[in-house]
Structure 1
Amino acid sequence: MNAELKRLHSPDIHDLKLYQPEVPEKFGFLLQVMVGPEGVDGEESFNVEVCTPKWLEETYGMNEVVIGRHHLIVREYNYQKIVDTIQNFLRECTGENWIEVAEKVSRIGKWEFEDYID
């Protein structure tokens, strides 16, 4: 089974394709990467903080140690580069079932069912 990017969404940005940060070298926003099994309807959310190094410095301070899990660090906002990077990452997310695939996808973003216990 393979992962497929279904769509991208941000509660912070109305139109990701047209977005231009106010300060191009310093921004951060939540990106919801909607992924599901390839060729099958349905999707699940994987949350990623897209940010620049300067945003990290301002948000966390120069002397802090930051665990970078679920962050996509960019030098500039380029929608197509972000899409291409995510799609290239997803090509490596395969498994015998959706749980195996989703656990691999969750390395890039926090899976909505991460740590879920039935």
Structure 2
Amino acid sequence: MFSKKQIPSLISADVILEGEIKSTGMIQFDGTITGQISVNHLTVGELGTVNGSIKADEVIIKGKVAGSVHANRVILEKTAKVEGDIFHQTISIATGASVAGTIKQLTEAENVTDIAASKVSKSAKTAP
């Protein structure tokens, strides 16, 4: 009855956030954020703007990002505008996307840490 497919959290175009967003799930972001985003899966929609850094397992960018992107898998759609460095294992760049910054492929040793795994290790260190 209930699908095992995860439904993303949606942040609409009329939302403006300042600070940090952390999630072990999926986020579709169409608003504006100034700050850091750490999630498993992020989609920056065509109307979305991120002024800050992104750390994710997978990120799809259709909107604007001013800051660094650290992700295992990066997909830049044709409407993507990135002003900052991109660190990735795999990347796909559509015709029309723009990047003003460096693009660096990570080695296995430099792999972006899984968000859920890092939360588990932090909680294990703080346990009594």
TM-score by length of 2: 0.23
TM-score by length of 1: 0.24
Q: With CA pairs under 8 Å and 6+ residues apart, which has the higher RCO, 1 or 2?
A: 1
Structure in which a larger fraction of residues adopt strand: 2
